[in-house]
Structure 1
Amino acid sequence: MDPVTAAFDATPRRDFLPRGVRRRASYDGPLGIAAGQTNSQPRTVDDMLRLLDVRVGQRVLDVGSGSGWTTALLAHLVGSTGSVLGVELEPVLVTFGSANLAGARRPWATIRQADPDVLGDPGGAPYDRILVSAMAESLPQALVDQLADDGVLVVPVDGVMLRVTNPGAVVTAHGHYRFVPLR
Structure 2
Amino acid sequence: MDAVEAAFAAWPREGFLPEGERRRAGYDGPLPIGDGQTNSQPRTVADMLRLLDVRPGQRVLDVGSGSGWTTALLAHLVGPTGSVTGVEIVPALVEFGSANLAATGQPWASIRRATPGVLGLPDHAPYDRILVSAQPASLPQALVDQLADGGRLVIPVRGTMTLVTTSGGEVRESHHGSYRFVPLV
Both structures adopt the same fold (TM-score exceeding 0.5): yes
SS of equivalent residue, structure 1 residue 169? strand
1:169 positional shift = 1.5
1:19 positional shift = 0.2
The equivalent residue for 2:145 is 145
RMSD: 0.4
The equivalent residue for 2:81 is 81
Query: Percent identity among equivalent residues?
Result: 72
The equivalent residue for 2:107 is 107
Structure 1 segments unaligned to the other structure (5+ residues): none
In 2, Cα distance between equivalents of 1:21 and 1:173: 32
TM-score for the superposition, normalised by structure 2: 0.98
SS of equivalent residue, structure 2 residue 117? coil
In 2, Cα distance between equivalents of 1:35 and 1:8: 25
- What letter matches 1:145 in structure 2? D
Give per-residue Cα distances to partners, 1:130-159, cap 9 Å, x unaligned: 000000100010000000001000000001
Structure 2 segments unaligned to the other structure (5+ residues): none
In 2, Cα distance between equivalents of 1:51 and 1:105: 26
In 1, Cα distance between equivalents of 2:29 and 2:15: 16
- What letter matches 1:171 in structure 2? E
The equivalent residue for 2:172 is 170
What are the equivalent positions in structure 2 for 1:52-67 lying under 5 Å apart? 52-67=52-67
The equivalent residue for 1:132 is 132
1:117 positional shift = 1.5
The equivalent residue for 1:6 is 6
Aligned length: 183
